A = this chain, B = another copy of it.
């Protein structure tokens, strides 16, 4: 069968787990563990072994019966399945505190997501150089997305300017957005949006602590 996708719809949860599998498999590889069973991988990821087999089955057959999975091969297969066996050019919109940090955050590049343009609408920021990139006026996104081959946008503006940034990006033809601003976006259904909100994770932890304590009474 090989690299083709076998199923119609793939659950969002599966995709999130595949990202975790990549993380854990990379560690295995570094530790020179070359073969792993679904049970071994499951334990390291904190999930059920058949969950892993089901997740992989959406994309193909990558294991060897009676043996397990060859770590390197499985990594390659998952990367291919996720579409991260290549590089992606990314635009960052909103060069504030967080934006600057992300521009300097080397992990993106290491993972194949290359920030090739930094945008802001503040005239005081335009022209400034951050992490080797000159900040460009957000209105010029259309032109630059074309020129630089940008396919993904990262939004790090304040909440009230996030929708405008999303509009600029989608109008420019970007096909996916990762939104760090605390605002919901309205975009065409053909554009993939991911929301990242640190504070929500703190909410979640706070809830779990409070809830656990209230249950233990």
Chain B residue contacts of A209, Cβ below 8 A: 83, 151-152, 175-176, 192
What is the bound-complex CA distance between A190 and B178, given in angstroms?
Answer: 32
- Per-position binary interface string of chain A over residues 83-100, scored 1 when its CB falls under 8 Å from any chain B CB and 0 otherwise: 110001010000001100
**Residues A206 and B88 in contact, CB atoms below 8 Å apart:** yes
Q: CB-CB < 8 A to A184: which residues of B?
A: 20, 23-24, 44-46
Instruction: Assess A212 versus B190: contact at CB under 8 Å? Given A19-B200, A184-B45.
Output: yes
A102 surroundings in chain B (CB, below 8 A): 198
Question: Other CB < 8 Å A-B pairs besides A82-B206, A83-B211, A108-B199, 13 of them?
Answer: A19-B203, A22-B203, A23-B184, A23-B197, A83-B207, A84-B206, A88-B202, A105-B198, A107-B198, A108-B202, A176-B209, A178-B201, A196-B201
Binding site for B on A (CB under 8 A): 5, 10, 12, 15-16, 18-20, 22-24, 27, 44-46, 81-84, 88, 90, 97-98, 101-102, 104-108, 111, 113, 151-152, 159, 175-178, 182-184, 190, 192-194, 196-212, 214
